[in-house]
């Protein structure tokens, strides 16, 4: 059976008090509407119609650029926000005759699970119902409408909270606003909706009473999870939703073999992947498409964005962005890896070390308070504390190359473009503005190069070797 979906995303979200359309407010790094689109994608609903209105161009552009793309996603604009019934009606021209069932849900309910919607669809199709509703049993009404049933417990209507009598307000079964409709009946009856006398809007909920009057079959799926049905109307709701989403993600990773020392202060976004036996310390943030290997230890106070981290890495109180780390890398505390950093196996980067747009070879050590930018470091290089690659001349960036087994003394300034040859050394405090040949020592300001051979190494003066570690 072909099932289409209509997602309502046209509202302004006045209570958010924001210039940003409500459905684009971020939830764990993604617009809240992404979660609903992702859930519908998992159900295989095609086509999917997103009804947009307030900030339509911005919503369309943002959604179109979200990965992965939604198969057969189409946008329909509700130029005037005249209620939920009017919003769904905008999809009729696109969907009529293309699906037998229409799933209607809201873009500001990102916590609804695919399993719940799948159960709704299964109930609808197995019973040949005209309407199947998702309802919630809860003590807190959350301002939802109440489900009204007759003496035989058949659904006969929905009464909004503001219109409910005291007896109706006592009803604990609530309307979540998520429905499956028999498509042919829906498209025939939507134009029959009448405007609400108070505000002139057309309410989708009025279809329930219409179906009941026609003795149509109305089915329900009942939920007892109020968190899942949370609709986001304020920034308070947004924070509540983020807390629930984090708890879901963190629980899933702990069940998958990842240790979270304090889940309440661990922030893992939905696209992150983590290997088994990794330990995550408090106040660690894993964002974007980050991939973490097995047996790592991250944090506390670590932020990793859109990066790949190999197995058995230790990252303490550091910030890593768009970088790739191989196995057994040790970083921090208070280190920073900026975009384009590629770190080989068994590299160590000390406290307050910074690497940007550079490759660092296997076994290299970068001492504390050092900056390596736009550079290529070979294997087993030692970067002494306070070393800086001076890569920017005020107009252009230039590269520094340091070959295998070189030893860069503390406080060395490497004025790019410059190359330090294999096994070469620089003395502490040197300013190197010319290439240093392999197997030589450069010292001074500006640095002068002293050729080193096995024969004359023992005759080097103490002054030349001072602070060369």
For the annotated catalytic residues, the residue numbers are 368
- CA end-to-end span of the chain: 74
Pairing of strands 348-349, 365-366: parallel
From residue 74, alpha-carbon distances to 7, 20, 60, 87, 327 in Å are 10, 21, 10, 14, 44
Task: Enumerate the β-bridge partners of residue 432.
Answer: 414
3-class DSSP string for the chain = CCEEEEEEECCCCHHHCCCCCHHHCEECCEEHHHHHHHHHHHHCCCCEEEEEECEHHHHHHHHHCCCCCCCCEEEEECCCCCCHHHHHHCCHHHHCCCCCEEEEEECCCCCCCHHHHHHHHHHHHHHCCCEEEEEEECCCCCCCCEEEECCCCCEEEEECHHHCCHHHHCCCEEEEEEEEEEHHHHHHHHHHCCCCCCCCCCCCCHHHHHHHHCCCCEEEEEECCCCCCCCCCCHHHHHHHHHHHHHHHHHHHHHCCCEECCHHHEEECCCCEECCCCEECCCEEEECCCEECCCCEECCCCEEECCEECCCCEECCCEEECCEECCCCEECCCCEECCCCEECCCCEECCCCEEECCEECCCCEECCCCEEECEEECCCCEECCCCEEECECCCCECCEEECCCCEECCCCEEECCEEECCCCEECCCCEECCCECCCEEEECCCCEEEECCCCCHHHCCHHHHCCCC
- Identify the residue whose tokens are 């096995």: 454
- Beta pairing, strands 348-349 & 101-106: unpaired
d(CA 238, CA 422) in angstroms, rounded, equals 55
Do β-strands 155-159 and 173-182 pair in parallel, antiparallel, or remain unpaired?
unpaired
Contacts of 34 (CB under 8 A, 6+ apart): 63, 66, 110
Residue 13 CA to its chain's centroid (Å) = 22
């Amino acid at each position: 059976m072909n099932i289409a979906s209509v997602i309502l995303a046209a509202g302004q979200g006045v209570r958010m008090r924001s210039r940003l359309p409500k459905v684009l407010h971020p939830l764990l790094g993604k617009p809240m509407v992404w979660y609903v689109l992702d859930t519908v994608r998992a159900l295989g609903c095609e086509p999917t119609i997103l009804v947009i209105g307030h900030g339509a161009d911005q919503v369309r552009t943002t959604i179109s650029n979200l990965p992965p793309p939604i198969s057969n996603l189409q946008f329909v604009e509700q130029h005037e926000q005249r209620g939920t019934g009017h919003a769904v009606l905008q999809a009729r021209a696109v969907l009529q005759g293309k699906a037998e069932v229409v799933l209607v849900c809201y873009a500001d309910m990102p916590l609804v699970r695919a399993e719940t919607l799948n159960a709704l669809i299964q109930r609808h199709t197995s019973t040949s119902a005209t309407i199947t509703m998702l309802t919630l049993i809860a003590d807190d009404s959350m301002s939802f409408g109440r489900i009204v049933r007759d003496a035989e417990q058949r659904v006969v209507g929905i009464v909004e909270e503001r219109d409910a009598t005291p007896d109706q307000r006592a009803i604990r079964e609530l309307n979540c606003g998520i429905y499956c409709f028999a498509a042919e009946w829906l498209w025939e009856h939507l134009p029959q909706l009448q405007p609400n006398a108070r505000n002139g809007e057309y309410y989708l909920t009025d279809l329930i009473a219409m179906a009941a009057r026609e003795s149509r079959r109305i089915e329900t799926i009942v939920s007892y999870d109020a968190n899942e049905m949370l609709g986001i109307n304020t920034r308070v709701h947004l924070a509540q939703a983020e807390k629930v989403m984090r708890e879901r993600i963190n629980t899933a990773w702990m069940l998958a073999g990842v240790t979270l020392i304090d889940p309440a202060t661990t922030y893992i976004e939905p696209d992150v992947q983590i290997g088994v036996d990794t330990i995550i310390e408090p106040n660690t943030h894993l964002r974007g498409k980050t991939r973490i290997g097995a047996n790592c230890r991250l944090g506390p106070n670590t932020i990793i964005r859109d990066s790949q981290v190999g197995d058995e890495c230790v990252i303490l109180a550091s910030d890593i962005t768009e970088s790739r780390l191989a196995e057994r890398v040790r970083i921090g505390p208070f280190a920073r890896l900026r975009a384009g950093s590629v770190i080989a196996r068994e590299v160590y980067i000390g406290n307050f070390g910074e690497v940007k747009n550079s490759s660092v070879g296997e076994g290299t050590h970068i001492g504390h308070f050092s900056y390596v930018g736009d550079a290529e470091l070979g294997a087993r290089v030692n970067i002494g504390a306070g070393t800086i690659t001076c890569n920017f001349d005020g107009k252009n960036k230039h590269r520094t190359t340091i070959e295998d087994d070189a030893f860069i003394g503390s406080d060395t300034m490497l004025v790019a473009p410059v190359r330090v040859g294999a096994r070469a050394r620089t003395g502490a405090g040197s300013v190197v503005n010319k290439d240093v040949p392999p197997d030589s020592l450069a010292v001074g300001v500006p640095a002068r190069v002293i050729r080193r051979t096995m024969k004359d190494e023992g005759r080097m003066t103490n002054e030349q070797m001072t602070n060369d570690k």
